[in-house]
Amino acid sequence: MPSSTQTYYDDPSNDKFYTLLWGGQDLHIGIYTSPSDTIPSASQRTVAKLAERLHKSGLQLGPQTRILDLGAGYGGAARYLAKTYGCEVECLNLSRVQNARNEELTRREGLNHKIRVVEGVFEDVPAAVGEGFDVVWSQDSFLHSLDRAKIVDEIDRVLKKDGDARVVFTDIMASNDALEQEPELMKVMLERLLLSDLATVEFYTNAFEGKGFKDLGYRDWTVDFGTHYRKLGEELKLRREELVEKEGVKEDLLEKHKRGTREWAETAEKGCVAWGMFCFRR
């Protein structure tokens, strides 16, 4: 039976919303350097920043590098890594609709020999994905998990054991005192996500160090999280007519997205959420 997350992302109206407003390549928070930055350009900048972090950690990306992208979405990061550095990338993702788009865009760019798409969950990485990866990569996917400790276990299992390996990822998390500061707002957000909690920076740091990983530092980009959702709300307002009349997106669904973008922006403004990049070395 499909999970609630899979059902949500496979819904045609939701997929059109994300494809059109995010740009159809990426599905994660962007990094903004100018008020004129678009959501797609800011999202692509995040991908480049994660790759840059790997280089600064001493890992040189190249054709010899095997990367596992957990929660790969439309595959924008995989195509960037394959085109820019020649890396081989396994895309593990739950949504069949997103996977089909990933495969289509990958074929269109002639990257089939570098990228493979596998349906599955990151709490139980399928045997078909394999092991021995140089890098495990993820962007804003782990928040959907009901067992994030299991994700860390799986990352530990699939990374190569006999050499230099890295974990680099971003996630949407709760600030340390979010529930005390804004209990009602956080309750609404968690209910909408069908979750009992969000991770924290401390959780990930302790979980990976507990497996013997070295923490290479966390970079906080929460300010960009707020900017991203404000931009998304503005874009939704500007393109509402197009989404409904041309693309057939349901009005009630757009209302939910409008409310959701407003609430996410509010959580950032009130200091309830954290968003940023982790990097760990084995």
Summarize pLDDT for 188-210 with one digit per residue, the tens.
Answer: 888 888 888 899 999 999 999 99
State residue 190's pLDDT score.
85
More confident residue, 281 or 2: 281
* 226-268 pLDDT per residue, tens: 999 999 999 999 988 888 888 888 888 888 889 989 998 998 8
| b/e code 58-97 from CB counts within 10 Å (16+ = b) | ebebeeebbbbbbbbbbbbbbbbbbeebebbbbbbbbbeb
* 57-109 pLDDT per residue, tens: 999 999 999 999 999 999 999 999 999 999 999 999 999 999 999 999 999 99
Are 98 and 78 in contact, with CB atoms under 8 Å apart? no
Angle at 149 between CA 44 and CA 221, to 5 degrees: 30
Angle at 95 between CA 94 and CA 100, to 5 degrees: 120
Place of tokens 């021995």: 132
Residue 1, pLDDT above cutoff 80: no
177 confidence band (pLDDT: 50, 70, 90): confident
Residue 149, pLDDT above cutoff 70: yes
SS3 state of residue 176: coil
- What is the C-alpha separation between 47 and 28, in angstroms, rounded? 9
pTM of structure? 0.94
The conformational region for residue 120 under phi > 0 = left, psi -120 to 50 = alpha, else beta, is: left
Q: Show the tokens assigned to 13.
A: 């109206």
What count of other Cβ atoms lies within 10 Å of the Cβ of residue 137?
A: 26
Nearest in space to 269 (alpha carbons), one of 185, 157, 164, 149: 185
